[in-house]
Amino acid sequence: MQPNSAAIVVLVGLPFLAAAVAPIVYRYLGDRTAYFAAAIAFISLGLVSSQHGVHGEVVLPWIPSMGVTLRFYVDGLALLVGYLASGIGVLVFTYSASYMHGEPGKAKYYATMLAFMGSMLGVAFAADLLAIFVFWELTSISSFVLIGHYTDERDSRYAARKSMLITVGGGLFMLVGFLILASHAGTYDLVYMLEHADEVRSGLASAGLLWPVVGLLGIGAAAKSAQVPLHIWLPNAMEAPTTVSTFLHSATMVKAGVYLVGRFRPLLLSDEWMALFAALGLITMTVTAILAVSATDIKELLAYSTASHLGLIIAGFGFQNAYGAETGAFHILNHALFKAALFLVAGIVAHEAGTRAIDELGGMWRDLPITAGITVVAALGMAGVPPFNGFYSKELLFEAAYETAVHLGGLAWLYPAVAVFGSIFTFLYSIRFLQLFFGDRPDALGEVHSPPVTMIAPPLLLAVLAAIVGAMPQLAVDTLIQSVVGSATSGHAHAFHVGLPTSLTPPFVMSLIVMGTGVITYPFYGRIHAALNRLFEVVPPITANWWYDSIVYGVNRRSVQVAERVHNGLLRTYATWTFFGVAALTISGFVATTATLPAELPITLAPALILVLLVAVVAAVAITIAPSHVAGVLTLSILGFMVAIFYILASAPDLALTQLTIETLTLVIFLLVLDRLPAFYGEIDRMRAIRDGVLSIAVGMTVTVTVLLSTAATPTMKIAEYFVEEAIPQGGGGNIVNVILVDFRAFDTLGEISVIAMAALSVLTLVALRNGGETA
Amino acid sequence: MTTVIFRTATKFVVPIIMLVSIALFLQGHNAPGGGFIGGVLTASAFALIYIAYGLDFLEDGVLGRDAQTMIEHISHGVVSDYRHLFAIGLGIAAGSGLLAILLGVPFLTQGYVILEHVPIYGEVELASAVVFDLGVYAVVIGALLTILSVVGAE
């Protein structure tokens, strides 16, 4: 069945439209804007589900002259991400009504959240590489705004900048990967590439471009999905309100990287692909699970855990066998269900208990019974305990790793070993989170209120869904996951079955090892936690944050130093650096292209011309030894008039006229400002004189070489002839220069006169209004 | 530079410069000239007046307005006229291009008609490019005079 193009366009466009009107809606509805946003998300959810089971492409022309088309592609993977973005959107917006009560900047908050939802839906459904990139960066930008929600707080600003730098920077790597891919495939159309996957892949491989493309897309995905060592922005992103963490930084935006990996899996699946993504995913899964154990704040714990589970999904998509795709596809859903629920629980805890420190919380099940129930389902799912939802996808990962190890042997046994090792830590921190509600209640913990219905209903719904998936995993597979696996697999995907294991299969044994070791080591959780934190304190370079801070602050310091030297407020310094830069760039450009100077000069000079030029040279020399400013300016104008005469002799009357009038006017302006300048500057420093002399010789040589090189080329004169021939029939004018200016190239002229107007405005503001901006 | 000779010369020369500049502007399409050169020439005529009679002459002597300070010049004096002039010029230039879009051809497309048997002139060419050039002319005069008077007042 073909997708309904109107539904898809409305789906992607509506959230942006709603974002635009959100500030106005907020003025009238106040806190109830949350329900407006939830309604928009609900409409989106309805539109996504109207396309359920659909597979196909929608094509709309966007920039036809550049061959850019807005293409949307609907398939299982796109629908899954669409369901998450819109469905969790409904819940998060409903939750916001109570949670954001009394917070600052709510109009901005709702507008950005809606814009984010639109961008995420755009990422999911776009089928043109450029469109994917645009939506991708839009999600990064809205994430930046939302993380920096508390604009007055230093930590928020640090976190927002960090996430911006990493995710947008990663996006640029992805763009380069896209450009290589597109230039190789000859189109930006993703659907075409997926249909000709084998062709494109073997073409890339034979051109030696498979590694670069896989690597560049990998950097983009790793930055977005917080893979080691780019995971460091995610824990800081928890500075945002909890709703934002739930929506962007657990359920949807961080899934964009995972989505990218799943989307390009059928196109690029190869040994290189597996080497990169299986290793990256498993390392991330393990490292960030260990970091989660070292966390002291519940949102920090969940953030590291998110990175860890994203690593699991990436690793799943990395494995070449069918279980790999099944792991990735199934875990996207499972993770979104339990992690979004847990984030909302964290929001309830922070809101009602007034603290997020793990040490200060415990035994809250009497205060928050429903929340405790939700946490049991979600945390056990996260730990991978049967019969909760996370168990099934983790089994699939173990199976994928085990099969790969059996198939390849040797070092490949590291895959299942690392997977088991990392999962032990996952088990540990999941149980630790659960312990917030059980065990001893710290005495310092004050009264804990019960949350309002709008805050309890969304996580409850998510937990119920997670429990249903846990109880009837095959149902989820049949309705949704099977088609997602189809999108992530080249060729035909076999129907797959999940369920509780009935015999001691290798993956089940691995799960048993994880749970057994977890239960045994859990009593030592406090000691592991303390030891890890001590390790990070003693050896800071093993943390990625240390590297980030050192680099960023180091670069900051350097740029301040450079700035002091390059633009220190003195005009002559600016001029020196600008001229030096231009000359150096031009010359190095010529050197790089190995341009050679023509052997003989292409022009012959008439005696009259030589005379005029000689006068000009004499004037130029005279300027440097002129005793006063007036004398200098007048001598300079001699040079200008000589150039004008040169133009007349070279039969360019228009240029000569312009040169003459401009020369006169410049002279007048110079004379106007002259008496503002000091008459005597003092003795000139010898070193500076030498430096300036060298610089002016270098600039002069650069210009000379440029003129020689650019006039040495002998074009076929087509352009000039065209203008000569067409000036009268097309432009109706005999003055070619003027016809070019106002007719053939009028758009250029429009730009030039805009520049003149801007210059006048700048003079006006800089000179006349510098003391009082209120007037005029 | 405010000698009697200079002032008298200015009185005679300025009208001639203005006439030449308008002629240059009008003949620009077929002979040397055009909006840019014409504009610069007009600006130099004004520069001459400024030098000979001082900056306030235009305001007080010619327009009969009473402007005291520089800020007043800018907000509602002659400088604001110059500012309006280059804004209008930009509007004319861009608007002439938009007119082309209304007629269904690409932005800034120009055309012309040749009128025959016009009394005295015989054959007259009407080019739409002149409208665009008028915009250029106005922007150049407005911008240059703005710069000139602001810098001059300093």
In chain A, % of residues over pLDDT 70: 96
The average pLDDT across A676-691 equals 74
**Integer Cα distance of A163 and A249 in angstroms:** 11
Domain presence at residue A369: yes
Residue B37 scores a pLDDT above 50 = yes
| Contact predicate A251/A208, CB 8 Å | no
| pLDDT at position A715 | 65
Residue A115 scores a pLDDT above 90 = yes
| Count of C-beta atoms within a 10 Å radius of residue A331 | 27
Domain presence at residue A678: yes
Domain presence at residue A168: no
Segment A64-108, tens digit of pLDDT? 777 667 889 998 899 999 999 999 999 999 989 888 888 888 899
Better-predicted residue by pLDDT, B123 or A176: A176
Domain presence at residue A42: no
| Count of C-beta atoms within a 10 Å radius of residue A581 | 11
Residue A556 burial by Cβ neighbours in a 10 Å radius (0-12, 13-18, 19+): exposed
The average pLDDT across A447-470 equals 89
Residue A570 scores a pLDDT above 90 = no
Residue A583 scores a pLDDT above 80 = yes
Residue A42 scores a pLDDT above 90 = yes
Q: Residues A455, A321: one domain?
A: yes
In chain A, % of residues over pLDDT 90: 40
Residue A62 scores a pLDDT above 50 = yes
The average pLDDT across A292-302 equals 91
Place of tokens 């999940």: A498
| pLDDT at position A137 | 94
- Min distance A134 CA to chain B CA atoms (Å): 28
Q: Predicted confidence band at B66 (pLDDT cuts at 50, 70, 90)?
A: low
Q: Residues A511, A615: one domain?
A: no
Q: Predicted confidence band at A603 (pLDDT cuts at 50, 70, 90)?
A: low
* Residue whose C-alpha is closest to residue A348's, from A384, A380, A302: A302
**B70 vs A contacts (CB less than 8 Å):** 768
Residue A601 scores a pLDDT above 70 = no
Q: Residues A491, A606: one domain?
A: no
**Integer Cα distance of A466 and A389 in angstroms:** 6
What is the domain partition of chain B in residue ranges? 4-152
H or E element: which one contains A81? helix A76-99
| pLDDT at position A776 | 41
Q: Predicted confidence band at A132 (pLDDT cuts at 50, 70, 90)?
A: very high
| Contact predicate A114/A40, CB 8 Å | yes
Q: Among the three residues A674, A695, A715, which one is the final residue of a domain in this structure?
A: A715
How high does pLDDT run on average in chain B?
Answer: 80
Domain presence at residue A619: yes
Distances (CA, A) of A398 to A329, A470, A506, A509, A681: 15, 18, 8, 10, 80
Residue A373 scores a pLDDT above 80 = yes
Q: Please, what's the b/e burial string for A478-513 (b: 16 or more CB within 10 A of its CB; e: otherwise)?
A: eebbbbbbbbbbeeebeebebeebeeeeebbebbee
Residue A286 scores a pLDDT above 90 = yes
Least confidently predicted of A546-550, A638-642, A728-732, B79-83: A728-732
Residue A773 scores a pLDDT above 60 = no
Q: Predicted confidence band at A671 (pLDDT cuts at 50, 70, 90)?
A: confident
Q: Predicted confidence band at A52 (pLDDT cuts at 50, 70, 90)?
A: confident
Q: What is the ipTM of this complex?
A: 0.87
Q: For residue B21, which phi and psi values (nearest 5 degrees)?
A: -65, -40
Domain presence at residue A613: yes
Annotate A108-124 with three-state secondary structure: HHHHHHHHHHHHHHHHH
Q: Residues A482, A577: one domain?
A: no
For the domain that residue A612 is a member of, what is the CATH number? Answer: 1.20.120
Chain A residues 629-688 within an 8 A CB cutoff of chain B: 653-654, 657-658, 661-662, 664-665, 668-669, 672-673, 676
H or E element: which one contains A583? helix A571-592
Chain A residues 483-502 within an 8 A CB cutoff of chain B: none
CB pairs under 8 A between A and B: 159
Least confidently predicted of A649-658, B34-43, B117-126: B117-126
Better-predicted residue by pLDDT, B69 or B39: B39
Residue A215 scores a pLDDT above 80 = yes
Q: Encoding tokens for residue A110?
A: 């709702």
Residue A425 scores a pLDDT above 90 = yes
Chain A residues 725-744 within an 8 A CB cutoff of chain B: 731-735, 737-739, 741-743
Cα atoms in the 13 Å half-sphere on the side-chain side of A135: 27
Q: Residues A348, A495: one domain?
A: yes
The average pLDDT across A304-313 equals 93
Residue A342 scores a pLDDT above 90 = yes
Q: Residues A499, A589: one domain?
A: no
Residue A157 burial by Cβ neighbours in a 10 Å radius (0-12, 13-18, 19+): middle
The average pLDDT across A724-749 equals 79
| pLDDT at position B3 | 80
Better-predicted residue by pLDDT, B148 or A339: A339
Q: Predicted confidence band at A729 (pLDDT cuts at 50, 70, 90)?
A: confident
How high does pLDDT run on average in chain A?
Answer: 87
- Min distance B35 CA to chain A CA atoms (Å): 9
Better-predicted residue by pLDDT, A738 or A516: A516
Chain A residues 126-155 within an 8 A CB cutoff of chain B: none
The average pLDDT across A39-44 equals 94
Spatial CB neighbours of A244, under 8 Å, sequence gap ≥ 6: A113, A146, A147, A149
Cross-chain Cβ contact B148/A672 below 8 Å = yes
Q: Residues A515, A578: one domain?
A: no
Cross-chain Cβ contact B74/A769 below 8 Å = yes
Domain presence at residue A627: yes
The average pLDDT across A411-429 equals 92
pTM: 0.75
Q: For residue A365, which phi and psi values (nearest 5 degrees)?
A: -65, -25
Q: Which residue of A has its CA nearest to B143?
A: A760
| pLDDT at position A491 | 65
Q: Residues A277, A392: one domain?
A: yes
Better-predicted residue by pLDDT, A736 or A128: A128
Residue A560 scores a pLDDT above 80 = yes
Containing structural domain, residue A456: 269-522
Q: Residues A458, A598: one domain?
A: no
Q: Residues A575, A488: one domain?
A: no
The average pLDDT across B61-69 equals 63
| Contact predicate A44/A50, CB 8 Å | no
For chain A, what is the domain count? Answer: 2
Cα angle: B100, vertex B104, B109; to 5 degrees: 35
| pLDDT at position A171 | 93
- Min distance A109 CA to chain B CA atoms (Å): 39
Q: Encoding tokens for residue A142?
A: 């809205």
Q: Predicted confidence band at A775 (pLDDT cuts at 50, 70, 90)?
A: very low
**Integer Cα distance of B53 and B50 in angstroms:** 5
DSSP sequence for A10-63: HHHHHHHHHHHHHHHHHHHHGGGHHHHHHHHHHHHHHHHHHTTT--EEEEEEEE
The average pLDDT across A36-46 equals 93
Q: Predicted confidence band at A774 (pLDDT cuts at 50, 70, 90)?
A: very low
Residue A488 scores a pLDDT above 90 = no
The average pLDDT across A123-143 equals 92
Q: Residues A590, A500: one domain?
A: no
Segment B130-151, tens digit of pLDDT? 888 899 999 999 998 888 887 7
| Contact predicate A353/A445, CB 8 Å | yes
